[in-house]
């Protein structure tokens, strides 16, 4: 077994490892993902981005959670992987399209280094079957649902991945960590779900705390920020431009007239990591 070379980046404290099959001979397995993401005995990360997988001009990435499960989409993951592609010379222009399991996403670099970019996140879907969520009507919109210890007003939305947005007068990391496991694994979500606790600060600002499917409490989430902003927008609580405040920092979410969502935010490079060849033994 040969050594493995990784690169690590973070978007507002939401950190990912890049596992590039073009430079690593070791085949990525579920147990390797779990081991890599363990912060006490592995490298430590909120997930692993596997790629680029290229088919002609198409560039694809697979997104893995720390528990080894595969995610459909990740807003921060898309930004991080895009920065990697620019750093390694896979992408040379100001714009390109990246394919995830949720489909194609257009990315626009806003500086020469690729440290800040705008991502076309598509449209929020509120239909229960597209999330998916069961046991409700066509949409789950500001609906009182019992989780853990009480009823909470929840709006469910897909950004290519499932999200449950719970509106509260005040949010905190403690509440997210307490409630998150119950929401993620609720019987209503056959594929589990991400959770955002959302506090509307004013017409252009919301504060969220995040508990991600397969990852737990995280400092930031791009798709989660979009989901919380979309739920707030659909409920008439915010305008078309929303700054989403998270533990790790801020993302700018904008709604076009037709409802299409764009996300703007930063990415920082942490470093290159070389693993000892027996790490996966």
Q: What is the pLDDT of residues 225-264, one digit of tens each?
A: 999 999 999 999 999 999 999 999 999 999 999 999 999 9
Same domain membership, residue 99 and residue 138: no
Average pLDDT over residues 19-40: 93
Same domain membership, residue 190 and residue 70: no
Is residue 241 domain-resident?
Answer: yes
User: What is the pLDDT at residue 276?
Assistant: 86
Same domain membership, residue 183 and residue 86: no
Same domain membership, residue 255 and residue 135: yes
Domain that holds residue 50: 4-122+267-275
Same domain membership, residue 244 and residue 150: yes
User: What is the pLDDT at residue 19?
Assistant: 97
Is residue 281 domain-resident?
Answer: no
Same domain membership, residue 188 and residue 75: no
Same domain membership, residue 109 and residue 168: no
Residue 2 has pLDDT above 80, yes or no: no
- Per the structure, the count of domains in the chain is 2
Beta strands 95-100 and 103-109: pairing type?
antiparallel
Same domain membership, residue 138 and residue 234: yes
Same domain membership, residue 21 and residue 55: yes
Residue 119 has pLDDT above 70, yes or no: yes
Same domain membership, residue 205 and residue 138: yes
**Is-contact 225 264, C-beta < 8 A?**
no
Is residue 194 domain-resident?
Answer: yes
Residue 82 has pLDDT above 90, yes or no: yes
Q: Name the band, by pLDDT with cuts 50, 70 and 90, for residue 279.
A: confident
User: What is the pLDDT at residue 112?
Assistant: 93
User: What is the pLDDT at residue 38?
Assistant: 93
Alpha carbons within 13 angstroms on the beta-carbon side of residue 44 total 9
Contacts of 252 (CB under 8 A, 6+ apart): 241, 242, 243, 244, 263, 264, 265
Average pLDDT over residues 68-79: 96
Domain of residue 117, CATH code: 3.10.310.10
Average pLDDT over residues 205-216: 97
Task: Give phi and psi for 223, each to the nearest 5.
Answer: -70, -35
Is residue 45 domain-resident?
Answer: yes
Is residue 27 domain-resident?
Answer: yes
User: What is the pLDDT at residue 1?
Assistant: 56
Distance CA 177, CA 181 (A): 7
User: What is the pLDDT at residue 97?
Assistant: 97
- Asked whether the whole model's pTM tops 0.85, one would answer yes
pLDDT > 90: what percent of the chain? 91
Distance CA 94, CA 114 (A): 9
Residue 277 has pLDDT above 90, yes or no: no
Same domain membership, residue 136 and residue 233: yes
Average pLDDT over residues 24-28: 89
**Tokens 């692993």 sit at which residue?**
48
């Amino acid at each position: 077994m040969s050594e493995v070379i990784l690169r690590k980046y973070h978007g507002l404290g939401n950190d990912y490892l890049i596992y590039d099959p073009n430079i690593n001979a070791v085949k990525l397995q579920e147990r390797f993902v779990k081991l890599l993401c363990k912060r006490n005995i592995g490298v430590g990360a909120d997930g692993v981005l596997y790629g680029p997988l290229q088919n002609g001009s198409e560039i694809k990435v697979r997104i893995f959670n720390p528990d080894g499960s595969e995610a459909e989409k990740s807003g921060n993951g898309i930004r991080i992987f895009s920065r990697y592609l620019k750093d390694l010379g896979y992408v040379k222009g100001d714009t390109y399209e990246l394919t995830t399991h949720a489909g194609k996403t257009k990315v626009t670099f806003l500086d020469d280094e690729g440290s800040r970019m705008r991502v076309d996140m598509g449209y929020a879907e509120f239909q229960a079957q597209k999330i998916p969520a069961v046991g409700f009507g066509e949409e789950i919109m500001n609906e009182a649902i019992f989780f853990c210890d009480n009823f909470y007003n929840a709006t469910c939305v897909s950004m290519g991945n499932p999200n449950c947005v719970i509106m509260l007068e005040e949010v905190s990391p403690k509440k997210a960590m307490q409630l998150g496991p119950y929401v993620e694994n609720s019987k209503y979500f056959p594929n589990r779900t991400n959770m955002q606790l959302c506090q509307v600060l004013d017409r252009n600002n919301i504060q969220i705390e995040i508990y991600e499917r397969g990852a737990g409490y995280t400092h930031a989430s791009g798709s989660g920020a979009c989901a919380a902003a979309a739920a707030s927008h659909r409920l008439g609580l915010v305008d078309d431009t929303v700054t989403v405040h998270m533990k790790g920092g801020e993302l700018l979410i904008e709604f076009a007239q037709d409802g299409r969502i764009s996300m703007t935010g930063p990415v920082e490079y942490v470093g290159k990591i070389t693993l000892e060849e027996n790490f996966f033994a």
